[in-house]
Amino acid sequence: MATTDSALVVFSGGQDSTTCLAWALSRYARVETIGFDYGQRHVVELECRAGVLTRLREARPDWAEKLGPDTLLSMDVFRQLGETALTHDMAIAMTENGLPSTFVPGRNLVFLTLAGAQACRRGIKRLVTGVCETDFSGYPDCRDDTMKALQVALNLGMQTRLVIETPLMWRTKAETWELARDLGGQPFVDLILEHTHTCYQGERGNRHSWGYGCGSCPACELRAKGYVEYLACE
Ligand code: ZN
């Protein structure tokens, strides 16, 4: 098996990275996953992450065959760096520099650099990440230019030829639901609805048509809006 046929997916257990995982599994002969415990406000995200992997393996033996080891790295360092709405109990709002309070400066850069190091170590040439600038461009480290620059930096710094793949970059949330359906049909859409986690508040008490969540944080609003648009186009 050629190493070019393998991919490392940055996997959080959310809708986007779960769709990216299916995208990679439908393309590559071997797929591994990596995730980060960065002191998220709610451990529910990490619990969902393990659950999605288990259920994906059960539902799709063909994907299970390709799915290699998962790595979870402890990144408590972001908590030490300072407070954001993702790591501390504070309000989600826009800050004076025009970025949402959920923005953790440098987070994706660090995640992808560590994922790059892991890919290098494992002989994997493709990094897959669910970053997207279509629906919500509030995070500068999710932009296409940032990813392209980072790919150059990683390859120079590690003397390798990694490719950062961003299958969701130009898709709306509705189009991400469509992609999920195309990759795994209704059973995969149902798996995402039931088991992935998106809500910033870590809320899983209420089951809406689009899945679990508080229904009012920016992440829930985006997921709900995308799902309604997706259903309207069905
Ligand atoms: Zn929410």
Cα of 197 from ligand 1 centre, angstroms: 9
Cα of 135 from ligand 1 centre, angstroms: 16
Strand residue runs (E) in 90-206: 126-128, 163-165
**How does pLDDT run across 47-89, given as a tens digit for each residue?**
899 999 999 999 999 999 999 999 999 888 877 776 666 666 6
In whole angstroms, give the CA distance from residue 167 to residue 131: 8
Cα of 227 from ligand 1 centre, angstroms: 14
- Comparing 51-55, 102-106, 191-195, 198-202, the range with the smallest average pLDDT is 102-106
Cα of 138 from ligand 1 centre, angstroms: 17
Task: Specify the 3-state DSSP secondary structure of 212.
Answer: strand
In whole angstroms, give the CA distance from residue 92 to residue 100: 7
| Pair of tokens at residue 151 | 């790919």
Cα of 177 from ligand 1 centre, angstroms: 18
In whole angstroms, give the CA distance from residue 2 to residue 4: 5
Share of residues in the chain with pLDDT > 90 (%): 67
CB-based burial of residue 196 (10 Å sphere; 0-12 exposed, 13-18 middle, 19+ buried)?
buried
Q: Which of 187, 152, 182 is nearest to 167 (CA)?
A: 182
Share of residues in the chain with pLDDT > 70 (%): 87
**How does pLDDT run across 167-183, given as a tens digit for each residue?**
999 999 999 999 999 99
Cα of 15 from ligand 1 centre, angstroms: 13
Q: How confident is the model at residue 122 (pLDDT cuts 50, 70, 90)?
A: very high
Cα of 222 from ligand 1 centre, angstroms: 9
Cα of 11 from ligand 1 centre, angstroms: 19
| Pair of tokens at residue 24 | 């990679």
**Bridge pairing between strands 6-10 and 126-128:** parallel
Residue 94 C-alpha from the chain's centroid = 22
Cα of 178 from ligand 1 centre, angstroms: 22
Higher pLDDT, 69 or 2: 69
Ordered domains of the chain (ranges, CATH): 3-172 (3.40.50.620)
Cα of 125 from ligand 1 centre, angstroms: 35
Contacts 24+ apart (CB under 8 A), 118-122: 118/8, 118/34, 118/71, 119/8, 119/162, 120/158, 120/160, 120/162, 122/6, 122/8, 122/32
Please report the pLDDT score of residue 217 as a whole number.
86
User: What pTM did the predictor assign?
Assistant: 0.90
Helix (H) / strand (E) element for 207: namely strand 207-208
Cα of 212 from ligand 1 centre, angstroms: 8
Cα of 213 from ligand 1 centre, angstroms: 5
pLDDT at residue 22 above 70? yes
Cα of 203 from ligand 1 centre, angstroms: 6
Cα of 121 from ligand 1 centre, angstroms: 36
Cα of 224 from ligand 1 centre, angstroms: 10
Q: How confident is the model at residue 1 (pLDDT cuts 50, 70, 90)?
A: very low
